[in-house]
Amino acid sequence: MTVLRPYRSDDRDAVYEICFRTGASGEDASGMLRDPDLLGHVYAGPYVTLEPELAFVVVDDDGVGGYILGAADTAAFDERVEREWWPDLRRRYPTWRTGGDVTFDDVLVARMHAPRATSAALVADYPSHLHIDLLPRLQGQGWGRRLVDTLAARLRSAGSSGVHLGVAAENTRAHDFYRRVGFTEVARDERSVTFAMRL
pLDDT tens for 128-186 read 999 999 999 999 999 999 999 999 999 999 999 999 999 999 999 999 999 999 999 99
- CA–CA separation, 182 and 147 (whole Å): 13
CATH of the domain at 160: 3.40.630.30
Q: Which residues pair with 60 in a beta bridge?
A: 63
Question: Is residue 9's pLDDT more than 90?
Answer: yes
Residue 183, SS3?
A: coil
- CA–CA separation, 107 and 43 (whole Å): 13
Question: Is residue 69's pLDDT more than 90?
Answer: yes
Q: Which residues pair with 196 in a beta bridge?
A: 164, 184
* Least confident among 7-11, 68-72, 167-171: 167-171
Question: Is residue 36's pLDDT more than 90?
Answer: yes
- Per-residue pLDDT, 95: 86
Residue 93, SS3?
A: coil
Overall domain count for the chain = 1
Kindly tell me the sign of the dihedral angle through the C-alpha atoms of 187, 131, 119, 198: positive
- H or E element: which one contains 176? helix 172-180
Residue-number span of the structural domain to which 17 is assigned: 3-198
Instruction: Detail the DSSP E strand segments found in 74-157.
Output: 128-134
